[in-house]
Amino acid sequence: MFAWKWYQTQLGFVSTDDAFIDADKLTVSSKILGRIISLNYDEGDTVKAGDIFAVLDSTDIYAQKNEAEALLFTSRGNINLEKVNLAKAQEDFDRAESLFKSNVISKEKYDNAFHSLEQAKARYELTKSGLKTAAARLNVIKVQLTNTVISSPLNGVIGKRWVMEGDVVQPGQPIYTVFDVNNVWVTADLEETKLASIENGNMVQITVDTYPDQKFAGKVYLMGSNTASQFSLIPPANASGNFTKITQRVPIRISIYPVDENGNRVNDKNIRLLPGMSVEIKIKLKD
């Protein structure tokens, strides 16, 4: 309580309103080509891990699955037949080999039995390969069927819906972007001239525009390793031409949590901090 009152009333703060609530985000994409027949959520909706985002038309894939199952059934029948044929060819050759060694049959008959055995082995291997191919194709189709149902990978809030029902999506095309609102922070872009007195652990007073009557606090816990301009669409290149010095801004991360009048942390389930909300911060400078 004393510490809270102290840094509320002393000078030595750095303030900015160039700050907002931030969170980890994950863009969920389609893994296959398909037409969307169902979209179950809109922007701002809360979702849980496993909730079904979207369903793609699976009519053609089910038809392929039926064909693949029929081919696999036929291949299994063929492999059983070739096993029988191979066993008989082996038996015939063994008999012919014994008779040939006893000079009962000619070399020609022995050679015929040998070639018949080799052909039976080749047919068996070919049929076995076909069986493996048919089984692999069915597995691929089953995975494709699974991919017609697109689910949320985490608990969070829909930040962006990228498609509409009826759209045909390509593999890798975004469907939704989801924010993990269970782990939010403040991202603030501070002028580089203000960074010298700031370090990890500095206490921060925070005001969230959405909750003007609620106090928030936090600590600086991550200092940016570069300025925001380095990741702009066209980063500055000053090797030639005129140069105008512009004060750069460096992003920092600040934890955030609601507090009461005495600065004690509180747990208010009615407070919902969402990415993009505007905030103002006051960082207590180090001595």
Alpha-carbon distances, residue 274 vs 2, 9, 126, 177, 230 (angstroms):
31, 29, 60, 14, 26
Residue 176's nearest CA partner among 53, 274, 276 is 53
267 versus 139: which is more confidently predicted? 139
Q: How far apart are CA 244 and CA 242, in angstroms?
A: 7
Domains and CATH numbers, the chain: 2-23+182-284 (2.40.30.170), 59-146 (1.10.287.470)
> Residue 103 corresponds to which tokens in the numbers above?
């000079």
Residue whose structure tokens are 């925070």: 206
Percent of the chain at pLDDT exceeding 90: 76
Give the separation between CA 134 and CA 72, rounded to whole angstroms: 5
Least confident of 90-104, 181-195, 230-244: 230-244
Residue 88's identity, in one-letter code, is K
238, two tokens:
């000053």
Beta bridge partners of 278: 20
SS (H, E, C) the chain: CHHHHHHHHCCCEEEEEEEEEEEEEEEEECCCCEEEEEECCCCCCEECCCCEEEEECCHHHHHHHHHHHHHHHHHHHHHHHHHHHHHHHHHHHHHHHHHHHCCCCCHHHHHHHHHHHHHHHHHHHHHHHHHHHHHHHHHHHHHHHHCCEEECCCCEEEEEECCCCCCEECCCCEEEEEEEEEEEEEEEEEEHHHHHHCCCCCEEEEEECCEEEEEEEEEEEEECCCCHHHHCCCCCCCCCCCCCCCCCEEEEEECCEEECCCCCECCCCCCCCCCCCEEEEEEECCC
142-174 pLDDT per residue, tens: 999 999 999 999 999 999 999 999 999 999 999
| Rounded Cα–Cα distance for residues 38 and 53 (Å) | 8
Owner of token pair 């004690």: 264
The pLDDT of 43-54, averaged and rounded, is 95
Residue pair 28/150 in contact (Cβ under 8 Å)? The answer is yes
The pLDDT tens digits for 51-64 are: 999 999 999 999 99
pLDDT band at residue 195, thresholds of 50, 70 and 90?
confident
Q: In the structure encoding, which two tokens stand for residue 119, read together?
A: 């052909």
Answer yes or no: is pLDDT of 1 > 90.
no
Residue type, 32: I
Is residue 223 a contact partner of residue 188, using CB atoms and an 8 Å limit? no
How far, in Å, are 23, 34, 51, 128, 179 from residue 153 at the CA level? Answer: 15, 20, 8, 39, 11
Q: What mean pLDDT value characterizes the chain? A: 89
What pLDDT does 9 receive?
A: 40
Q: Please, are residues 161 and 182 in contact by the beta-carbon 8 Å criterion?
A: no
Distance CA 96, CA 101 (A): 9
